[in-house]
Every structure is written in C-alpha cells, then in structure tokens.
Amino acid sequence: MNNDCLFCKIVYGDIPSYKIYEDEIVIVFLDINPDSNGHTLIIPKKHCLDMDDIPEETINHIFKVAKELKVRIDNKLNTDGLTFVQNNGEIQEVKHFHLHLKPYYKHNEIKSVKEIYEILKDRD
C-alpha cells in the first residue's frame, strides 16, 4: 500500500466508494465524477504505478474482468458503445494503475452515481 495513494485508500476501505465488483486481485467502483452513466474504474489491489509497473498476469485479469463488466454495463444501462481508457505519465491523474470503462449513449440522460450504483451493484 502507498499511504499517499487515493486508490490504495479505497482498496483498504479508508475512503468509501461505489464498489460494484471485487475479487482477490481487483476492485471495481464507479467514478465519482463520471463522464457518462456507468463510468467505472478497475484497479489492482496491489499498488502499481502504470502500464510499465503492472505484472502481466494482473493486466490480463483486469481485462478479463473488464470484458465481464462490459456485458453487465451494456445490459443494465442500455449503452450504445463503451470505451476503455488507460493513462500513463503526466496525463495520469491518480498515480495507481486504473482502467476506465466509459459507456457511450446516443441520448444520455444523466443520473446520479448513487442511482447507477443501485442498477449495477453486485448482488452476490
């Protein structure tokens, strides 16, 4: 854990989040300042800075989870598309590897993060 890292604090429960999925390797939560309904972040629980720092097996797992979540987001939010974004270097706002899943809608009726959470949360 990096004590100064916002995402590490989310992983350890020091900061609340709208978590929609978790396993032993990753945690998935809704972006609190979303670009669209269902804007989601997938992060490894172990602190990794960026694409150069993350183990290959972790990145493979992240994309496996992303593929599964894409289906859930598409089905529950009726998306018209979805973009995956991963930033490195100066453009990376939080210095902890994260993959954005950004749904696209032809007609986007903005809902609150809490409303989207109620639709997408893992009920298992």
Point out the residues that are catalytic: 98
- Report the Cα 2 to chain-centroid distance in Å: 19
User: Edge-to-edge strand order for the sheet containing 81-85?
Assistant: 19-22, 26-30, 40-44, 99-104, 81-85
User: How many Å apart are CA 56 and CA 9, to the nearest integer?
Assistant: 24
